[in-house]
Structure 1
């Protein structure tokens, strides 16, 4: 049986092995209970990890598959792996194995041809910030142990609000993503307007709203009977007149309307709800306006995006995911409130003695983030965006966001110029949807068959590893969707993806061409 020994007490006992060694204990010796590695081994592992990351993050990724269709067997094997009791014989080989698994076993949202969902086209600075924060085990929940990290988070939140043109004094905190951001904001709204018990509390949003919103309301104990999901209008936006009628009806029935959730870039089509009108309505009715801008709010960095998102600065709260259109690693979300005092009212807690001991010496402007959200032990997510903004500068981020919108313009024009294809929605905040048109003569799939074929073509494309495209439903029919926020997506590559979609469609259905087009 392996034992734990102290080599510093009276010399090394018989059978003792250097706890820094890697490999199985010789002759049943003691295990490596210190969980440390020799300095040279740490350096070698770090160098190998960075070699793998550099190869992945470099320009050569364009020639590699965006997804692997052969990962299923590997996943089965991994799920069945037994618990490793002994140390690895060769940690460098293990790191190489991990690199291969990550490279070949998953889709890559940072790939230039990952056009599905909302990509996460990260930057090397975000990766470095993540590594530095993890390596130093940076505390961020409590300023007593994380004074500098808390200050960096406060500054980065302020920069983000400034970049998006939000009202002075807007602040908030970094969270894991849009789901946590929406839950945080909706909790603050509930507590501010109807109290923690939320009796009669009623919320409103459109049928285009992200699933994280009804889930957050469920967590808050607001039942489905008090959640009003309004069908979008012809432009997939929340209908203002119907909203007003519903709020008035609910008040007459004794309910307590408190929240309207607006979309700043729906996931499916990139559409934006009428923010100025909603802000005015909410002010008149005493309602909280939360804007889910997880994907699209970052467009406000640009003049064009700010016009589309006019009224964003009038919201009571906004969610935004820097791991989307601000190019940070996954797990980087942010929630912003016009009045951050509502966060303390919702999440502030009395500190136990072991934490209260550090309450003295609180400087003006310092934040204990454990009072602003549900986490006490938190990742130092802010460092990723802070480092990226410091290295590249805000103007580079504005240009990158602007490039995504221009890329969407270009591919929409190309689709409309190509016989047999037609833009259905957009370009809107770098999202374009399109479909194949019936041929001038000859058969065309029924609507149901066409819907099925859209998803089959997307699967064909994914199986090739060439690109990731998804189908979405618009006006009851399945269409192809492209999200082109990655600043490393090239025009020729994107056009080639559209061409390949058309080829795969033709292979499944026969030739298509625009009605009346020349043969």
Structure 2
């Protein structure tokens, strides 16, 4: 593209119009610059010391309200003082998912180039609903979807939409499945993320249409159990419709047997949806691609780049390998949107999900992929898997203290203190988290309490892991 084509057009017919103030509500341009530069400095300064701040800090409601509330401001308050208050109180009291010792749930270790993309989208007040109203941002989203599909090994015809996170990504896939195939039974396991049955209920699935199957001893869906459940439902006059498989469970990192499940779905005429909210990005590495073999056969796939693709909150994705399925489920054409319909093969992203007014979430991923390159993403994801394997080795060095309950899988390892019950595990995790050194949580597997580390931050070191385990054992 030539340089002139890169620049926004200027219209001579508008040259004599008066200048427009820089800020809608009255800040002067120089004040805007000064405050903006200060925000950048505060963000970078915080990034440089994030290993020294608490991994999680929770405040008391009355204290936070006293510091952040008060009477409605009728007159201006110094914005610098408000920025300081925001940084020192509001933003300090939260989980810091990019902290190198934040091991709870699934971390969110965002990269700075992605933050730049997010700032640009917010600063330009960007919307991405229709082609007519947002052709540039829409093309960025189309490009990002293509890049994601290529990195994950999904089919060339894959389409998608960017959303707030895994809950909306999964719901969007479910809605596309139901619009394509009609009502019926959805099959999942007791290790499926808790938000997925809620999504199904929200879409109108009756309780008997949500078949929760027991996972196997390795916490994966059993292909034999699935086949038996489908046959049983057909015999009872119910209509099997969709299988919800997991590519990296939140509890253990387990991956359902995707090739076998895909074969069952193909033979039975069912929609295969894969919840890869945290685990799917592992497929950008050769090791992860092997562990997630069969994911490319999904009819729909949900994943969260704000987890293992190092994007700031929020960013989820629903990818669908049946062209047109998203539009068939969500497209609307009211009279007040007639003049923003797409031209030719262009896309109105407001027709691919429940969101009509939607910001451009693609800019941050586009910016970070261009800034770092896909290979650096692969190395960072691989590092997360290696860290979990390292944690497992450290645990096995002290068999009298620790028991490995589930081995390292896609950046997660579950373990237990010898002889400890749920109360002791919870006390240990709480003490370490309240100390600020690290954030660790417990979970339950088959009624048994375990501790769990999710190690997908590439900034985590061996000392971070050893120090966390030493503190847990000491408690």
Alpha-carbon separation, structure 2, partners of 1:437 and 1:117: 23
Identify the residue that residue 5 of structure 2 maps to in structure 1. Answer: none
Are 2:243 and 2:272, in contact at CA under 8 Å, matched by a contact in 1? yes
In structure 1, the partner of 2:260 is 277
The aligned residue for residue 142 of structure 1 is 130
Q: Is the contact made by 1:69 and 1:465 (CA closer than 8 Å) also made in structure 2?
A: no
Tell me the equivalent position of 1:469.
Answer: 440
Bigger shift: residues 208-217 or 176-185: 208-217
1:458 CA drift (Å)? 0.7
> Which structure is higher in RCO with an 8 Å CA cutoff and minimum separation 6?
2
Q: How does 1:280-359 map to 2 (within 5 A)?
A: 280-352=263-335, 354-359=336-341
The Cα offsets for residues 191-218 of structure 1, whole Å up to 9 and x where unpaired, read as 1111xxx3xx211100000112111111
Offset at 1:91? 1.0
Counterpart Cα distance in 2 of 1:76 and 1:231:
45
TM-score w.r.t. the length of structure 2 is 0.93
Shift of residue 249 of structure 1? 1.5
CA apart distance, 1:351: 3.6
Residue 164 of structure 1 and its aligned partner are, at CA, apart by: 0.5
1:169 aligns with 2:167: no
Structure 1, residues 430-449: CA drift from partner, whole Å, max 9, x if none? 001111124xxxxxx5xxxx
Residues 449-468 of structure 1: matches in 2 within 5 Å? 450-468=421-439
Q: Does residue 415 of structure 1 match 2:376?
A: no
Q: Which runs of 5+ in 1 are unaligned?
A: 1-19, 22-31, 439-444, 505-519
Matched, 1:42 2:32: yes
Distance 1:81 1:286 in 2: 59
Identify which of 215, 221, 230 aligns with 2:213: 230
Aligned match of 2:361: 381
Alpha-carbon distance in 2 for matches of 1:72, 1:303: 47
1:303-327 CA-to-partner distances (Å, cap 9, x unmatched) read 0000000000011110010000000
Aligned residues: 455
Larger mean Cα displacement after TM superposition, 392-401 or 130-139: 130-139
- Report what 1:432 is aligned to: 413
| 1:252-305: CA deviation from partner (whole Å, max 9, x where unpaired) | 222111011000000011100000000000000011010000000000000000
| C-alpha distance 207-214 of structure 1, shift in aligned 2 (>3 A) | same
Deviation at 1:144, TM superposition (A): 0.5
Is 1:152 aligned to 2:132, yes or no? Answer: no
Distance 1:358 1:308 in 2: 43
Q: Secondary structure at the match of 1:233?
A: coil
SS in structure 2 opposite 1:144?
Answer: helix
Match of 2:15 in 1: none
Determine the C-alpha separation between the residues in 2 that align with 1:121 and 1:436.
Answer: 28
- Asked if the contact 2:57/2:436 (under 8 Å) is kept, the reply is yes
Structure 2 residue runs without a partner (length 5+): 1-20
Q: TM-score, normalised by structure 1?
A: 0.85
Q: Secondary structure at the match of 1:92?
A: helix
CA contact (8 A) 1:116 1:483 kept: yes
Contact 1:71 1:104 (C-alpha < 8 Å) held by counterparts: no
Tell me the distance in 2 between the aligned counterparts of 1:184 and 1:82: 41
State the SS of the aligned residue for 2:314.
coil
Q: Hey, what's the Cα distance between the residues in 2 that align with 1:477 and 1:123?
A: 36
CA distance in 1, matches of 2:157, 2:165: 22
Query: Which moves more between the two structures, 76-85 or 60-69?
Result: 76-85
Could you tell which deviates more after superposition, 103-112 or 180-189?
Answer: 103-112
Q: Does 1:493 align with 2:474?
A: no
2:348 pairs with 359, 362, 368, which one? 368
Structure 1 residue 79: Cα displacement: 7.8
Name the counterpart of 2:18. Answer: none
Higher CA-based Rg: 1
Change (3 A) 1:219 1:103: closer
Distance 1:265 1:228, change over 3 A: same
Is the 1:69–1:462 Cα contact (8 Å) retained in structure 2? Answer: no
Q: 2:372 aligns with which of 392, 395, 407?
A: 392
Q: Provide the secondary structure at the position in 2 that maps to 1:61.
A: coil
SS state at 1:174 partner: strand
- Which residue matches 1:75? 64
Where does residue 402 of structure 1 map in the other structure? Answer: 382
- Which residue, 73, 82, 88 being the options, matches 1:94? 82
Give the equivalent residue in structure 1 for 2:171. 183
Equivalent position to 2:100, from 106, 112, 115: 112
1:433-477 deviation per Cα after TM superposition (whole angstroms, max 9, x unaligned)? 111124xxxxxx5xxxx1111011111111101100010112321
Corresponding residue for 1:266? 249
Deviations 1:346-380 (A, max 9, x none): 0111242x4212437x143x211111111111111
Alignment partner, residue 516 of structure 1:
none
The Cα shift of 1:233 comes to 0.7
Residue 26 of structure 1 aligns with which residue?
Answer: none
Note if contact 1:71-1:105 (Cα within 8 Å) is conserved in structure 2: no
Deviations 1:48-102 (A, max 9, x none): 21121111222x21112112254544334368633222221x1111111111124
Superposed CA RMSD in Å reads 1.8
> SS where residue 258 of structure 1 aligns?
strand
